[in-house]
Amino acid sequence: MHATAHALLRRPSWLVLAGLPALLAAAPASSGDARPAVPPQWQAGAAVAGPLDTAALANWWKRFDDPVLDQLIDNALRQSPDIRTALSRIASARASKNIERSGLFPSLNASASGSGSRTEVRATDVTTTTENYGASLDASWEIDLFGKQRLALSAAQADLAQATENFHAAQVSLAAEVATAYVTLRSTEAQLAALETSLSAQAETAQIAQWRQQAGIVSVLDARQATSALEQSRASLPSLCQTLSETRNQLATLCGRTPGELDALLAAPRALPAVPASLATGIPAETLRQRPDIRAAERGFEAAVARTKSAKRDRLPSLSLTGSLGVESLKAGDIFSPDRNLARLVGSLSAPIFAAGRIQATIQIKTEAERQALIAYESAVLSALAEVENAQTSVARTAERLASLSRAAEAASEASTLAAQKYQAGQADLLVALDAQRTSLSLEQQRVAAQAAQLTAHIRLYKSLGGGWSSL
């Protein structure tokens, strides 16, 4: 089945731009199936031309130049439960491969026996004692006549390779998740700082309104409106503080620590990391080779192909050899100079005649598993291409949004300052000052959120390009 696909699987690295369409075309297709084609270039357009910078991708978080982020990701990659689970699965897959490998060799068993009897005849008053001792070495071997066991070993080796790639994929996801949570933490701190600055200005405005009300210059309405605006802004404080606490706990969990264990590391507020310089994204085929989840899907398809071919070998004859070498002696001390030497060798050839459709049903199950593995591979390819395209678009659009919001926030801050000064001088209405303060706070928080979104877009891009994993 799938001769082209099987040929591709024999290559050291069969995910190449020319090989991928051939693999997909060789697979069985139902009516209406559309096979994904790997485009020669990204539609969104790479920010920097050139081949994919895999060296920079390996530790992409260092491009943010934040030592706290570096320490968090380093801790997570060493201590995270997800990483430890993935390593355990590699060990389990390696043991399964060794089990399959052992089937290619004979099995040897040693045994020793001893027996004794005592017979007493009362009529003659004669007692007879006999002893018998033996030792044997037994061997059995099912010869891999048509390669069934070698195919099972190939499937187990592919399982091991898939477990290794899943470990790499876990590294990629974990590094991105830690970095995203860290950006959330720092952006929340920045929003909290902006809110506290605004609260200080609003409190000053409310105090002036109260003084004017007490002096009879303005009505009670002005004082109540100023107090209402101040308390409305202050109501955002608990939500931001809650987000800070939850994000610290999330980072601790990702690093395999208990809640609060990283609070000392995260206690001092820091500015959001600077946006790193653009990274060359190469061409789609390079990204597919770099992503461990794509390689894991490849290995899963390899294993499914091998198991289908192994199941088909069940229709062929099997050859088994059994043999033993043994000795017998009448005394335990003579076991190495025995009275009798025994040797036996038996060969048997068996072939299935009637299995009530069991073998064919098993082949069908394995064939459908192979089909499902191929579909999973196709889905992984499509998802990978879409993720990179979306991430590149997000990087560009968030930069545009941040530029506009930065200009708007700067202008709103100046307007708020001018409105407060005019209100203090009695040259502007209170509502003008309050509206300017609310607008300034809102735009500053939007600017911080846009800055965080831009950083998150870069993190998504690095993740979609397969960055953040290293070999065992």
Element (H, E) at 349: strand 340-350
User: How far is Cα 193 from Cα 88, in angstroms, rounded to an integer?
Assistant: 44
Whole-angstrom CA distances from 92 to 102, 179, 316 are: 16, 30, 31
Mean pLDDT of 350-379: 90
Mean pLDDT of 294-300: 95
Q: Which pLDDT score, from 0 to 100, does residue 16 have? A: 39
Q: Mind listing the pLDDT tens digit for each residue in 307-329?
A: 999 999 988 888 888 877 766 66
HSE-CB of 177 using CA atoms within 13 angstroms: 16
Share of the chain above pLDDT 90, in %: 55
Query: Can you name the residues that pair with 135 across neighbouring β-strands?
Result: 112, 327
Q: Band of the pLDDT at 83, cuts 50, 70, 90?
A: very high
For 106-112, the CB contacts below 8 A with 24+ separation are 106/139, 106/140, 106/141, 106/321, 107/139, 107/140, 107/141, 108/137, 108/138, 108/139, 109/137, 109/138, 109/139, 110/135, 110/136, 110/137, 110/138, 111/135, 111/136, 111/138, 112/136
Domains, the chain, with CATH or none: 3-104+144-316+358-464 (1.20.1600.10), 106-143+317-350 (2.20.200.10)
Q: Do 204 and 213 form a contact (C-beta atoms < 8 A)?
A: no
Q: Which pLDDT score, from 0 to 100, does residue 32 have? A: 36
Least confident of 100-114, 297-311, 403-417: 100-114
User: How far is Cα 194 from Cα 240, in angstroms, rounded to an integer?
Assistant: 11
Q: Band of the pLDDT at 335, cuts 50, 70, 90?
A: low
Predicted confidence (pLDDT) at residue 19 exceeds the cutoff of 60: no
Rg of the chain in Å (alpha carbons):
37
Predicted confidence (pLDDT) at residue 266 exceeds the cutoff of 80: yes
User: How far is Cα 192 from Cα 245, in angstroms, rounded to an integer?
Assistant: 13
User: How far is Cα 248 from Cα 281, in angstroms, rounded to an integer?
Assistant: 32
User: How far is Cα 276 from Cα 59, in angstroms, rounded to an integer?
Assistant: 13
Token digits of residue 23: 């693999």
Sequence-ordered list of residues with C-beta below 8 angstroms from that of 250, at least 6 positions apart, any chain: 181
Sequence-ordered list of residues with C-beta below 8 angstroms from that of 385, at least 6 positions apart, any chain: 36, 38, 39, 284, 287
CA 55 to chain centre: 20
Predicted confidence (pLDDT) at residue 332 exceeds the cutoff of 70: no
CA 84 to chain centre: 12
Q: Which pLDDT score, from 0 to 100, does residue 342 have? A: 66
Sequence-ordered list of residues with C-beta below 8 angstroms from that of 241, at least 6 positions apart, any chain: 192
The stretches of 215-291 forming alpha helices (DSSP H) are 220-234, 236-254, 263-266, 284-290
Mean pLDDT of 355-376: 92
